[in-house]
Amino acid sequence: MIRAYYTATNSAIGNQDYLDVMSNNIANVQTDGYKKSKAEFSELLYSNIQGSDIKVGSGSKLEKVDVIFNQSAPYHTGIETDFAIEGDGFFAVQFDDNIYFTRGGSFQDINVDDENYLMYQGGYVLDENEEPIIIENKEDEINVGVFVLENNSNLQRTGNNLFELANGNAEYSLSENPKLLRGYLESSGVEIADEMVKMLQIQRSFQLNSKVIQTADEIEQTINSLKS
């Protein structure tokens, strides 16, 4: 019963980790340009049953959380400072000396030191030369930079719908022929129906593992009482 107890416990922990990922996706179903997360699991070590070649597992654990960078549908807002990217690429946003990346294009015109800057989440949106964008007139052309990476897996989440380079060897470059839609935003990459179905499945699995843990504990208590 100890084996059943620990196997079910490991699985329940994995279920909880999966629920956390699903919950975060659902919370961002209306976040413009948000890319959903996908949990990847791996099996724990197998062991042989004494005196046989039969192997039993020890449950599973969360191996990693991937980001699905699929294109989402743009929708029209009519706001001059809203932008959406069609195809690959990210907007660059500068906070102090650090540059972050996002697909969210809900920018704002904010006055800083008597200059109107295009900003996102409190950071400066960068142009093609990686310089903060100063807006003289909202109706004029705004040269928002679009940047690409050789591998999007080199990005990691930092919160506020922003990504940073995961390692110092990762590089990015200016997109040569970006397609920008002004007055549009990219919708969230989360499909609420899919996430809700997955969440119900994981909740059922968590309940089952909890029941196994409870049953194993009760049997162990019964065995201990017979020994005493």
Domain boundaries, the chain: 2-68+190-227, 74-186
pLDDT at 95 over 90: yes
- What letters, b where the CB count within 10 A reaches 16 and e where it falls short, cover 27-62? ebeebbbbbbbebeeeebeeeeeeeeeeeeebbbeb
Query: Which of 27-36, 54-63, 162-171 shows the lowest mean pLDDT across its residues?
Result: 54-63
What gap in Å lies between CA 34 and CA 106, rounded to an integer?
12
DSSP state of 59: -
Over residues 117-137, the mean pLDDT reads 95
Residue of higher predicted confidence among 80 and 213: 80
Share of the chain above pLDDT 70, in %: 90
The per-residue pLDDT for range 7-55, each reduced to its tens digit, is 778 788 888 888 999 999 999 999 999 999 998 887 765 555 555 555 6
DSSP line for 105-169: -B-EEEEETTEEEEEETTEEEBBTTS-BPBPS-TTS---B--EEES-GGGEEEEETTEEEESSTT
CA dihedral of 162, 151, 154, 61, whole degrees rounded to 10 = 100
What gap in Å lies between CA 214 and CA 176, rounded to an integer?
60
Beta-bridge partners for 197: none
Over residues 117-138, the mean pLDDT reads 94
In the predicted model, what is the mean pLDDT of the chain?
A: 88
Q: Are 147 and 101 in contact (CB under 8 A)?
A: yes
The per-residue pLDDT for range 193-221, each reduced to its tens digit, is 999 998 898 889 888 888 888 887 777 77
Query: Which pLDDT score, from 0 to 100, does residue 94 have?
Result: 97
pLDDT at 225 over 80: no
Share of the chain above pLDDT 90, in %: 57
